[in-house]
Structure 1
């Protein structure tokens, strides 16, 4: 769809604001009332987590609205909650809001009143059947998944997407009114495209703001502004890892395997699960499955049809040897993710 002049001018203005700012501001994002998901991707120390924590605490102080703060792992949650949640809220937010925090298990209290629940995605199954959902919570939900991406070399012990969806089910059940539900996703690392972003069928490759209306999501992919770069210049990270995307926030992606040409004939379907499959076209190009009726290669047992370990291993070897092309970057990321989730056999 062709963008109007008004839309283009608005996007240019947004990019200018990003460029000139030292700290990220969520003010314009808060005016997008149709969204449920507010996704912020940017380099470290850009002010993303601070801005949303400041907003959540303001909502707590002015409306009595508790919030939920999520991290990927239980270890990360324990660090936030140590010493009566001393590391949970920034010191200046604590001072200006006169917070007096204590905690019991995963609940944080302010002056003895329940202010926040801190949970880990990795242990969502422990929360199933627990009374986290409150159907009389009239003020709605403020939820934040902070640091939504694994670090580059972090061990993959669980499926982030699966855990996130299930934890949301634990927390909000059938709530879907945007006026009652604000889910914030914050990410630093983009050395590889985010698992969570794949759930939205979208990976930003250029800085700016993106509106994913079908997913009720708005995405800010925050460029490092001039003042931000000046502040970061000469830091340890700048000296020792100047090109790491977690600090520069510039996604370094390999698009050499992305094929934009014509697809002629489907060769086979590569199936990872009942609802997860890809189609191999012309013997070398992988695209997302669209109900093509061709021979199926099962990548794990207990699916309909034959499972052959040697055939599965051939697919894996071809991937590692860069023997496949992909219809787009998203398909490449999704296919790689499914390979990583395969359990070794034989």
Structure 2
């Protein structure tokens, strides 16, 4: 793997490479959202992306940059669902095989969606197996290339197209972002987004948002070094349960982020319900944390403009029902 940290030029190149292969998701606004926050809120709704999350951007960018020999071996990755589905979709698009190691407790909706793209699913114990080692072993066995969920320059660059599009569309409306909230697990989406913000909107204060008990990025930013999760939080936000910030992603995020915030389960459920009732979109728990932080006033810009990434919509039906009933 090329461990060179990506730049904004890589994000811009990824946008050109992905044109026509992904959905350029729109900006959403709602009067009620502005009223609740006292700000102009611009929502980037990645549930409307093919595969239902932003992950398709990074996976497709990385797959397109594989050389012909590597493509013959196919793709291997590990994922709780969204990245696995994205890799499976990218592999299908390019005529490659895909092997996805998924936690045995991953939501069935994500496992089934990944399998439908033709991928081989290898289940593993989330708490007892080294997922990176497992992916490496599977890649050797299959002669395949590992595309990690977040700690890869091509993946980070692809994810950064989320903020690039948001900023371009905001500019077309004559708006400049004062604050930006992004859902954060291992930090790939966050890192790509802050590269775009640094280049195009350097005065914007960007915040990483995580679920309580899985706030490794927040604590790492405060400590100035990577800290692991202590696995004390619930598994509700399954898409964000990384072990620690990435070796590539954290230096980028540490350099550019204004800080990190954590949200509660109740705040996540409120955001899921709000998005369903007012924005008319379905959000999974991990994809809702940034909106949750904005609704709770944990990322605020009274009288200003806030950009918020809703990162995924592959919600387990039973969990979504809990959100609506909460």
TM-score normalised according to structure 2 size:
0.27
More RCO (CA 8 Å, sep 6+): 2
Q: Is the radius of gyration larger for structure 1 or structure 2?
A: 1
Larger proportion of helix: 2
